[in-house]
Chain A
């Protein structure tokens, strides 16, 4: 195992982690697919409200690449198709026939040896037709991997450093053989497959020694595939590496092993707004309300994916294709009187300006911005936490001045969109969002 060390980054001291011992099983009445949150996809619908579908039936394809197929995670009836502003396709909701769910077969089951013998092009076609190809994504833009390319490497990330993610030990517990099958398939796609895990989980790393190629040391987001790539790459060609999440490898392997579209998903439900923070074994695209369970605060916000990188979920909506964490945090209420002059033993901060800096205990957080918007005062905190050595305050200025060569040379495309720069900024500048927007704009220009 190669050890990769990241000096920067930051572990958010946030309260509300799921209880290690608490895991429930759920069988939701509805499941959904959220095209809006699949990066860079322009959906072309293949179904209408009221249609009957089986698990694995086509729901929509991508207009920019018709080989990308998105299949139904449930069998039953299309209950609703929700659109957002400008007719953006938000949700395709399927009401399941819970008792007798129809399932479509997506090809013959394969074992490990069959996968090793499978020609690469056919394996790619198999994964595309089976609807699991979109789980493979490509750096630096994190869109769906291009099936025409052979990537320099695939990073399998067993990461959970962002608060409230599902630890890999939990989903690999009884699935190691399935995971190994998935890795065998990935090795057919790329000459190099890296599997990285957090070195802090010593027991986990020892138990899975044969699987893990890299152990990562450091704070969030040290185990992000982009950060690992930043540390292990030797040449610019490696920048277009692919990555896939550990749980998604299981989904891919499930398709290959059984010939049916995978539907199982293990979620983490957490945050101070969730009355019972726990793990839930449920279905791909499970409804948010079902997962969240009882709510322990007045004005909750549902964060799908995580408190840093996630998006705000509709309480009546469902989880996306990629997200395995649901955090519930309270929206800000009335703030304390004279906060400015309080020593702040309970105020979470990266800086050392509150008493909380003396004890690294988990603290409750809200979605308050916690300050007025100001011009950059060059405190340098953003550069101190950036895991890939970008100096966000400098890059922000280059972006605002539209100095394209400048901000690319400063490493904009290395940005892993971890959100830490915005988190620590005392001037409350939307650094991460600006960098992300610039990345997406540059991608559009390249296309």
Chain B
């Protein structure tokens, strides 16, 4: 520890005013404060300050996401080897998964961090830690094996257009990770949609083995002909409720397991980092809309309408989106009570997009981005309503 302290002590002057690397001070500072928290004397009103800072706030979100990354590594490797007819023993699966997922994560972090440093240097401020969360979320929403140049392009768009052009973390109104994800989705639909992209074949195979279902539960549900039951069809394809809940099926890297989302969501709510209002609102939105569709579903309507609402929560990325994407505090509503409305609308739109728009099998990302646009309006409404209740003091 003393050695590290001495090292930083030694390096610091080179990055400070007048040093040769002064321009990279933001980078140096972000590394140093990981090892030794910053020391700054308060100026009063008040003289003491809470121990929590943004660094820890964001680091805890990353902690919540680590199980998703680990599970994503396992699941990607598992699906890949299963589809290729290879052995699914633990070690080879993890090895394949690491090769599929880690390069995406590393590319995201390197590219995202580079943009952030560039903007921090030009704007002369410190690096805001929201970036590290965005860079963790982004690869988890992609199919495993997305070409790395697309990963780099996507996170660049997310960080630069989704965030930095508005002034950086805290001033963006869209979720940066989802902005990047949506950009890739519309720019490169071939590598990001359809049934084939969710599993990567290993070895020499060019087609999946016959016993393997490459179609995701969502695309299965969306394409069932009228007259068949959805749950039964899903079950016959190997997508039972338990499997969907656990998450061991083809899908995005980190978003398939509803179980991990519940655990991560509880962790973040218990620590007071994610808003339970948004998460519960989102869950209610999905369930209510699903139930409403059940009511209007007739014998001739698409079977997707009569799907048990709980399936909407455990299939695809809705749970992941509701727990980790809607709750980004900056792009969510800032006022307390409209968070319920925001969450509910996200859940509702997710189901509506899934059921009524065959072009988009998964709607959660677009639903959240769409609702992000309304959040300033929702905030404005709550502020106005609450201002009216006050006894004026002017």
Contacts and interface: CB of A to CB of B under 8 A. Distances in A.
A425 B45 CA distance: 13
A369 B38 contact: yes
B41 A354 contact: no
Given A239-B393, A413-B394, A436 B45 contact: yes
Given A371-B54, A380-B275, A423-B48, 12 more contacts: A239-B393, A303-B47, A309-B45, A310-B44, A331-B41, A337-B4, A338-B34, A350-B52, A370-B51, A374-B126, A427-B54, A430-B43
19 contacts: A308-B45, A308-B47, A312-B47, A331-B41, A335-B37, A337-B4, A337-B5, A340-B34, A348-B48, A351-B272, A368-B42, A370-B52, A371-B54, A383-B336, A391-B334, A425-B49, A426-B52, A433-B43, A433-B44
A428 B54 CA distance: 9
A307 interface: yes
Nearest 3 A/B pairs, CB to CB:
A371-B53, A375-B170, A419-B46
Contacts of B391: 233-236, 239
Nearest to B129: A374
Interface in B355-388: 379, 383, 386-387
A315 B45 CA distance: 19
A433 B46 CA distance: 9
Q: Is the interface of A mostly helix, strand, loop or mixed?
A: loop
Contact of A367 (B42, B54, B59): B42
Q: Is the interface of B mostly helix, strand, loop or mixed?
A: loop
A371 B55 contact: yes
Contact of A372 (B52, B126, B332, B379): B126
A178 interface: no
A414 B334 contact: no
A308 B49 CA distance: 9
Interface residues of B, number: 60
Interface residues of A, number: 79
Interface in B117-143: 126, 128-130
Contacts of A378: 170, 329-330, 332, 334
B51 A347 contact: yes
A38 interface: no
B55 A337 contact: no
A384 to B, nearest CB: 8
A301 B48 CA distance: 11
Interface stretch (A44-52, A256-264, A404-412): A404-412
Interface string B186-227: 000000000000000000000000000000000000000000
Contact of B53 (A334, A414, A426): A426
B52 A374 contact: no
B108 to A, nearest CB: 21
B278 to A, nearest CB: 11
Contacts of A428: 49, 53
Given A239-B393, A340-B59, A368 B41 contact: yes
Contacts of A424: 50, 52
Contact of B48 (A338, A367, A414): A367
Nearest to A446: B394
Interface in A370-401: 370-380, 383, 389, 391, 393-394
Given A370-B37, A375-B168, A236 B46 contact: no
Contacts of B271: 351-353
Contacts of A375: 128, 167-171
Contacts of A338: 34-35
Given A367-B42, A372-B33, A393-B334, A340 B50 contact: no
